[in-house]
Structure 1
Amino acid sequence: MDGPVGGSRASGGNGMVSNQANDTTTVAADDPKQNLNQVINSVQKTLGLLHQLYLTVSSFNAASQLPLLQRLNSLVSELDNMVKLSEKCNIQVPTEVLNLIDDGKNPDEFTRDVINSCIAKNQVTKGKTDAFKVL
């Protein structure tokens, strides 16, 4: 899908469709927390748009064609906005977390396992240092 479906959007002459009402990409490039918060907000907005789209599609009739097209346009615009915002974020996700998500598991399990592993290693190290103190 190269652009919005139906509806009216302004094209800047370069083939790119702009949506000034949702343009939140003017962010200081050196503020990673603000960049991340904007990506999170965009993800939440996208989830809301997907829910609205689901409701529109599940009760579709001829009268709901225009709202369907408007919601599709909003979704495409927000996904484009999300991509632009995400380019400013440098987030590294361990491949183990992605594998857990692919397997349908909760990524919090990975965090719990890493913390438990660190606690166990810390206890072993503490035991060794205590043994050396006794010597």
Structure 2
Amino acid sequence: MSTDTEQAINQTRDTLASLIESFIELGVIVHDFQGTESSKDALAIRLNETIETLGKLQKPESSALDQVPIPRDVLEYIEDGRNPDVYTREFVEATRKSNQYLRGKMAAMKDLREILGKKISSEFPELSEVVEDIKKRTN
């Protein structure tokens, strides 16, 4: 990953952390809202800061983020209010299972190649060189 991309990702992560903090502070202000002028001002200031932070996320300063695709599945997962770490864990587990399945298929095909090669060589000795060549090329 290029330095620009890493910097853009770090900047976005910092912006998201700031946004989360703004939402927490906004929640506290709304919860403690008393209707006084000072509480109205505090609420307006925090809302404006939150809107400004959201604007930074919508239009990042660096176009390097355009090079980092975010899968639609992840976005939908987050929109549903679910943890993206759980998505990652499930994805890794599914990938691991798929890899084990494919590794098993590859081992079975290798065994089949060996057994079939031996049988062909024993039944048709004139094809032994061809069988060995095929084994070498498919190893």
Coarse TM-score class (shorter-chain normalised) = 0.5 to 0.7
Q: Which structure: larger Rg?
A: 2
- Tell me if structure 2 keeps the 8 A contact 1:49–1:74: yes
Aligned residues: 106
2:56 maps to amino acid: N
**What are the superposed Cα offsets for residues 2-45 of structure 1, whole Å, 9 maximum, x if unpaired?**
xxxxxxxxxxxxxxxxxxxxxxxxxxxx7011111111111111
2:94 maps to amino acid: S
1:82 corresponding residue in structure 2:
57
Cα distance in 1 between the residues matched to 2:29 and 2:107: 65
**Aligned partner of 1:51 among 13, 19, 24:** 24
2:13 maps to amino acid: I
If asked which structure has higher relative contact order (CA below 8 Å, sep 6+), I would say: 1
Cα distance in 2 between the residues matched to 1:104 and 1:48: 18
1:4 corresponding residue in structure 2:
none
Percentage of pairs with the same residue: 29
User: Equivalences for 1:1-135 in 2 at 5 Å?
Assistant: 31-61=4-34, 62=36, 63-85=38-60, 88=63, 89-90=65-66, 91-134=68-111, 135=114
1:101 maps to amino acid: I
- Structure with the higher fraction of residues in helix conformation: 2
Query: Any stretches of 5+ residues in structure 1 without a counterpart?
Result: 1-29
- Tell me if structure 2 keeps the 8 A contact 1:97–1:107: yes
**What are the superposed Cα offsets for residues 81-133 of structure 1, whole Å, 9 maximum, x if unpaired?**
22232762123232333333344433334323332232223223322333344
- Tell me if structure 1 keeps the 8 A contact 2:22–2:49: yes
2:83 maps to amino acid: N
- Tell me if structure 2 keeps the 8 A contact 1:100–1:106: yes
Q: Which runs of 4+ in 1 moved over 6 A?
A: none
Query: Any stretches of 5+ residues in structure 2 without a counterpart?
Result: 115-139
Cα distance in 2 between the residues matched to 1:39 and 1:54: 22
